[in-house]
Chains A and B, each alone.
Chain A
Amino acid sequence: MVDSLERPAPGPVRTSPFAVLRNAWRGLTSMRTALVLLFLLAVAALPGALLPQRSLNLNLVDQYFTDHPDLAPLMDRIGLFDVFAAPWFAAIYLMLMVSLIGCVLPRSVEHLRALRTPPVATPRNLGRLPHHATGPVDGTPDEVADRVRALLRGWRSAERTEERAGAGVREFSAEKGYLREAGNVLFHLAMVGLLVGFAAGKLYGYEGSVIIPVGNQFCNSGILGYDSFRAGLRVDGTELEPFCLRIDQFEASYRADGQAADYRAEIGYQTTSDLDEGSTAEWRPATLAVNAPLRVDGLRVYLMDHGYAPRFTVTFPDGQQRTGEIQWRVVDPSTLLSEGATKFERPGITDEEQRRTSQLAITGLFAPTSSGGDVVTSVFPALRDPEVAVDVLRGDLGLDDGRGQSIFQVDQRQIESGALQRVARANLVPGQEITLDDGTVIRFDGVNQWVGVQVSHDPGQDWVLVFAIAVLIGITLSLTIRRRRFWVRLQAADTEGRTVVELGGLARTDRAGYGEEFDRLRAELLGPEKKDG
């Protein structure tokens, strides 16, 4: 289109690559494109709220696959279950950012230039402006000019004297509200900064969660220490900030109806420098609570959840004892009814075959406050009346087949194949025991508590906060400040010692009222009684 005038010849119109680029750039940075991209961004984000997302809840995504076996794989292929990591989502916001930069940079340059040029000269006919007034006032033009100068303090103003009809005419032009555009530019640049900070967090941050029984300690030494770990794109897990913590005590309090009132964990920790100095005997005390994480060395440690770990002691026929205490997972958050599997290997057995027939697993349910009766269920989340309902399984747990195994369950296939068999079933309160057919005694010793801890590292988040505050300041300035112009023309009146004053005002932005301020300025100069001047 650009060159069409010079190329009247028929045939395909050839445009230079430069023109194509320039047009594409102009198109991308236009306000209309920004609008379209904003709409696209809004529409593209919606499936992230309406469809289950892997980043939030893997189980719900699996459920969706089960419910919609035909549709789900197709949806998955276009990333509908990972919307915020999808390339098309990134494409939209990156284009929006480019459009924003392309629009805002020239505007900032223009604004800087406007800051250095004096306000525009007084229009010839002030009566044509939306706000205007005129009238004679007492005082020579010089005296009135002083009053105008005082009035225009705080405005960017310029003063000119013009010879017209043989007399000196003084003109003042003033402009105010430059902060509006400054706020606008600040808002947009801060949005870019915010996105960069956000991206930095996604690249260099990580988040790991781990269950730690009370009395145990945990060190941030590698991914393997965690139960689950979400690494940033540039994090390989080899250089985590060294840090250790120990759970000393955990307390939860509940209201009478079982709703949680408060949780807190008393912990000790050792910082990177503590570990470097080798002072590993000392633990710094701290409290983890809801809404109150521990912040140290760029890491944040959160108390996420909690539960119980029943402790069992197995006394084998030969008199050897083994004690097992491992976390069971919560199945009902309101009563903390939990399930799990505590697994044992018989000590001192070297024969592979024999070893595989003598492994033990204690599986079942744990109730912190048992309902009593044959079917154990929990009626309250606190540890008032603990009881377990367990099956004891003996045989081959399948630990050697190379596949990972849940710590909360036994491998169901081992039961189906008959390799693992139930040898006892019982309800036990602390101190009670059962004896198996081969003389092995299993005792339910008591219960420990565990806490789920999340360790997070996000090097970008402080920057995100800084830019978010800049965004707020920018948007507030750019929406509330009005850019307006004000002109004054002074001319000596026919009577000696009087001056004819002409005023004009123009709001450069929206119609959100400049009238009141103009009226005030007019009243200052012309006096209130000359309202219709």
Chain B
Amino acid sequence: MLAQYSDWFYIAAVAVYVLAMVLHAYAQAAVRTRRPVLVGAGGTPADIPAAEEQPARAVGARAANMGVSVAVLGALLHLASIVARGLATERWPLGNMYEFISMITFAAVVTWLVMLRRVPAARSAAPWVLLPIVVLMTLGGTALYTAAGPVMPALRSYWLPVHVTAIAISSGLLIVSGVASILFLLRSGSGVPAAIAERMPTADVLDRVAYRVMIVAFPLYTFAVVAGAVWAEAAWGRFWGWDPKETVAFVAWVIYAAYLHARATAGWRTGRAAWINIAGLTTMIFNLFFINLVVAGLHSYAGVG
């Protein structure tokens, strides 16, 4: 019964996120990019387009505001889905890959909404941030879906809420940071049509978002790995055993450590650091899908069979 509600909330959340994406995309389409004024140096360039742009800009701003509110609604539905799942199964709702992805994407959405309050200039990145979230949730809700049920004895430990929640939240943060770095490269590179690139936040804003999210994500991710080691010591007889999941988590940690070092190295601060962040995100995604589904290891809890 509750499990059914959880599923409905989940589907509703995805739909609402898509709506938020559409609103944001519409908001950006409504804002015309500044036309370069090459001739007529006499008059101020703002004079002419200002009159006709005014209403479009107002509509755009309204759509963008609505987009944020709708995303908040989506996050509430998403949270309801997670809580209902936990109540339905009478355990912490992080026992298989579907639930894990649900928690990661929820963390990513909340991160994004918090970031919007801190760096309002980042708002025009919304469609690009919501896109991977919607894709992940769709995958989680279809191919990786697992019906509500109990988990194996090894997963019944108070370390599950600690370790897996910390991993899920830090993964959500790292997704937002990684997407910001991807957008940073698109924005500062030349491969993207100007019409799209110019509607994104400035490269500087995107770089700041990537870094500010990272300085929260990295310590949390470190904590999650340490908590995992403490749990492994009680469950598997050793705190670290180079299980494939552990190994790739270590690789990702090293890459993110490299990102932070790059931020302090002349010549690596922005562009190259962004590439490192993307390498880190790729490793995390690889760890989520490939290691869970293809490589056999102790962490094979995906529940997909």
Contact = CB atoms under 8 A, between A and B. Distances in A.
Contacts of B153: 260-263, 290-291
Contacts of A476: 219
A300 B264 contact: no
A38 to B, nearest CB: 4
Given A461-B233, A472-B222, A512 B238 contact: no
Interface in B127-164: 150, 152-154, 156-157, 159
Given A38-B261, A42-B255, A46-B251, A461 B212 contact: no
A207 B237 contact: yes
* Most central of A84, A475, A480 by chain B CB within 10 Å: A475
Nearest to B158: A291
A379 interface: no
Contact of A38 (B245, B258, B296): B258
A35 B258 contact: yes
Given A290-B153, A472-B219, A512-B208, A49 B238 contact: no
Contacts of B262: 35
B237 A291 contact: no
B265 interface: yes
Interface stretch (A270-278, A354-362, A463-471, A492-500): A463-471
A112 interface: no
Nearest to A460: B239
B289 interface: no
Contacts of B212: 512
Contact of A304 (B150, B223, B231, B237): B237
Contacts of A42: 251, 254-255, 258, 283
A259 interface: yes
Interface string B226-246: 100111011111111111110
Consensus secondary structure, chain A interface: helix
A93 B15 CA distance: 47
B214 to A, nearest CB: 8
B8 interface: no
Given A34-B261, A38-B258, A291-B156, A471 B222 contact: yes
B106 interface: no
Contacts of A41: 254
A56 B153 CA distance: 22
Contacts of A48: 242, 244, 247
Given A42-B251, A45-B254, A465-B230, A510 B263 contact: yes
A45 B229 contact: no
Nearest to A184: B264
Interface in A117-162: none
Nearest to A198: B240
B16 interface: no
A458 B254 contact: no
Contacts of B257: 38
B254 A475 contact: no
Contacts of B265: 31-32, 35
B218 interface: yes
B197 interface: no
Interface string A33-67: 01100110110011011100101100010000000
A479 B218 contact: yes
A511 interface: yes
B239 A464 contact: yes
A56 B156 contact: no
A53 B156 contact: no
B26 interface: no
Interface string B187-231: 000000000000000000000100110010011001100100111
Given A207-B238, A512-B211, 10 more contacts: A35-B268, A39-B258, A260-B152, A262-B153, A262-B156, A291-B154, A291-B159, A293-B237, A475-B218, A479-B218
26 contacts: A31-B264, A31-B265, A35-B261, A38-B257, A42-B254, A45-B250, A46-B248, A49-B244, A50-B295, A56-B242, A207-B237, A207-B238, A290-B153, A291-B156, A291-B157, A293-B237, A458-B239, A464-B239, A465-B230, A465-B239, A472-B222, A472-B223, A475-B222, A476-B219, A479-B260, A480-B215
